[in-house]
Amino acid sequence: MPRPLRDVVFVDGVRTPFGKAGSKGVYAQTRADDLVIACIRELVRRNPSLPPERVDDVAIAATTQIGDQGLTLGRMAALLSGLPRSVPGFSIDRMCAGAMTAVTTTASGIAFGAYDVVIAGGVEHMGHHPMGEGVDPNPRIVAERLVDPSALVMGSTAENLHDRYPGITRDRCDAFAVASQRKLAQAYDDGRIQPDLVPVATRDVDQGWGLATIDEPPRPGTTASDLAALKTPFRAHGRVTAGNAAGLNDGATACLLASADAAAELGLATRMRLVSYAFVGVEPEVMGIGPVPATEKALRQAGLSIDDIGLFELNEAFAVQVLAFLDHFAIADDDSRVNEYGGAIAVGHPLASSGVRLMTQLARQFEQHPDVRYGLTAMCIGIGMGGAVIWENPHHADYGQEAAA
């Protein structure tokens, strides 16, 4: 018998404050798994009508799955969070889109009927586990010229993208980065960021106990002249700098997903409805272009056009990657629909965790903009991929009605 698909809704999302990776970062002596455990516990606390035993699975992403990010992290985090032992869990890896893939994978299970309620998220402690730690790429990937060696260095792929799009200058990228810092600072001033942050207790052997309550990476007040003075580490006289790219960060995210029926049964909020999603492969040497074909595919599947998208949450791994997306779809650099609260250039990008940050911020913006029906979360992915997820705003007057093809 054919099985009808069920609607999947985004119930709630939280994250830790993001920290700077390294010995001086706020999480230098905090375990990665403890970061995601804090998020899971906060989700359960914020949704008291959800019996913990009704959680059907826990999917947690990490790019470097060793040490305190290893050992089937989803299951370990579920146990350590105090969820019943009957709740299973698993780990997932799609580099920067790990948490995004944790969401789409478990959401597919909900739509199919295998789950009613799941927790999905991601964590990356780049201070403990720098990107690429412990990996051993097959030498054939370069020796047989399957990819150019630059494909394995994300900053070099951003420089390659600049080569493809010479109209995206360093000055333009720096201006975009300054705007990201400004928008995040404004979002903090307006109290838009704080409701989704989970305070995290930290400990330092020299400084004692602390409490992380705000993001560490932002540099409010950054100017274009500040960024113009920065070096270009990936290429002499290049265009990618530490100022117009996301930094190295530590942090975790988690969200609660449910079928629409289960959410109604359990009295859980419906903050977004999943419409469609897509992942695509692109040339690894210019992985930053990935969100473009991923978005085009997700739009086709939904029967929508780019004009139907009223809010965009685009991960700012590099400014050039976002600007290439905007140019492709003829969207202005300063379009108010794009990254209303700023982005990863300002707030940080702890790799596998970032997808759920985008979703949580989009859900918050939907509440502010009931006139917007559809929103997009999208990101580029290392080794040449892109991911995009389209969501519907339950506050819109036409919510739930069939989209026009």
Is 380 catalytic? The answer is yes
Pick the catalytic residue from 237, 369, 380, 395: 380
Distance from the Cα of residue 388 to its chain's centroid: 11
CB 244 within 8 A of CB 168: no
Is 125 catalytic? The answer is no
Q: What is the pLDDT along the chain (405 residues), one digit of tens a residue?
A: 778 899 999 999 999 999 999 999 999 999 999 999 999 999 999 999 999 999 999 999 999 999 999 999 999 999 999 999 999 999 999 999 999 999 999 999 999 999 999 999 999 999 999 998 998 989 999 889 899 999 999 999 999 999 999 999 999 999 999 999 999 999 999 999 999 999 999 988 988 999 999 999 999 999 999 999 999 999 999 999 999 999 999 999 999 999 999 999 999 999 999 999 999 999 999 999 999 999 999 999 999 999 999 999 999 999 999 999 999 999 999 999 999 999 999 999 999 999 999 999 999 999 999 999 999 999 999 999 999 999 999 999 999 886 543
User: CA triplet 48, 122, 201: central angle to 5 degrees?
Assistant: 65
User: CA triplet 350, 327, 172: central angle to 5 degrees?
Assistant: 70
Q: Specify the DSSP class assigned to residue 251.
A: E
140-191+274-392 has which CATH code?
A: 3.40.47.10
d(CA 271, CA 362): 9
d(CA 175, CA 17): 25
Pick the catalytic residue from 96, 125, 129, 255: 96
d(CA 258, CA 270): 9
Is 39 catalytic? The answer is no
Pick the catalytic residue from 125, 128, 129, 349: 349
d(CA 128, CA 34): 13
